[in-house]
A and B are shown apart, each in its own frame.
Chain A
Amino acid sequence: EVQLLQSGGGLVQTGGSLRLSCSASGFNFMNFAMTWVRHSPGKGLEWVATISGSSRSTFYTDSVRGRFTISRDNSRKTVSLQMNNLRARDTAIYFCAKELVLRGYSSGWFESWGQGALVTVSS
């Protein structure tokens, strides 16, 4: 059974930093691209970033590029999202997600999701 267990999140001031982690089990982690998706009441679901299985490629939505960094450790089966220079509009629940099929980038077919972590950015 695929499981994604998230940690991290919390309250941070504008301009601050947070790190989210996602620990995977139940599948061959190194073969699958992993993605972070966020949900906010005003914007709904939003794709944030994807990392290929080998870590060779990373992809970001425009609004976080240069501030967020996605990374993974295949030996520990974890994927992380380092978030710097946080802004109020980054306030959301952040989910890690596993792709349905083997591909070096996201197709948006997220078959498994972590439980979510709330990130609140306050001034």
Chain B
Amino acid sequence: QSALTQPASVSGSPGQSITISCTGTTSDFDYDFVSWHQHHPGKVPKLIIYEVNNRPSGVSNRFSGSKSGNTASLTISGLQAEDEADYYCCSYTGSKTVVFGGGTKVTVL
């Protein structure tokens, strides 16, 4: 149950696009159960992407996900100040367990 690997931090200017990577073993992403959660410190995490590239109702279409091989990615387009938060990838491991990435702090410059 090793954590998925994410960059510690990513930054961008308002209006720009940024991409956060999430790397695991090939078996970590055998299933399309990849999700992404946004977490503003002190608040409750929020699901923003599930099943690799689906958005729950109410989530901005500026958030998109993808997966290739042993890497999943989250792209935030049209970066806004409110997007400054921690982002966690998450995946089902195939043995009825779930693993999170270490988290990426997004800074809007």
Contact = CB atoms under 8 A, between A and B. Distances in A.
User: Do the two shown chains form a genuine complex with each other?
Assistant: yes
Interface of A: 35, 37, 39, 43-47, 50, 57, 59, 61-62, 95, 100, 105-111, 113-116
Most buried by A among B44, B46, B100: B44
A47 B99 contact: yes
Interface of B: 1, 3, 33-35, 37, 39, 44-47, 50-51, 56, 86, 88, 90-92, 96-103
Contacts of A59: 96-97
B100 A113 contact: no
B45 A110 contact: yes
A92 B47 CA distance: 20
A61 B50 CA distance: 21
A47 B96 contact: no
A62 B44 contact: no
8 contacts: A45-B100, A45-B103, A47-B99, A61-B97, A107-B92, A108-B98, A109-B50, A115-B44
B39 A109 contact: no
Given A108-B91, A110-B45, 12 more contacts: A39-B39, A39-B45, A44-B100, A46-B100, A47-B99, A62-B1, A95-B44, A95-B45, A107-B98, A108-B98, A109-B50, A110-B47
Given A45-B103, A100-B56, A106 B44 contact: no
A115 B45 CA distance: 9
A64 to B, nearest CB: 11
A47 B97 contact: yes
Nearest to B92: A107
Task: Give the 10 A-B residue pairs with the shortest CB-CB distance, closest first.
Answer: A44-B103, A108-B90, A47-B98, A109-B50, A108-B98, A105-B96, A113-B44, A107-B33, A45-B100, A59-B96
Contact of B33 (A47, A50, A109, A116): A109
Contacts of B1: 61-62
A45 B22 CA distance: 14
A119 to B, nearest CB: 16
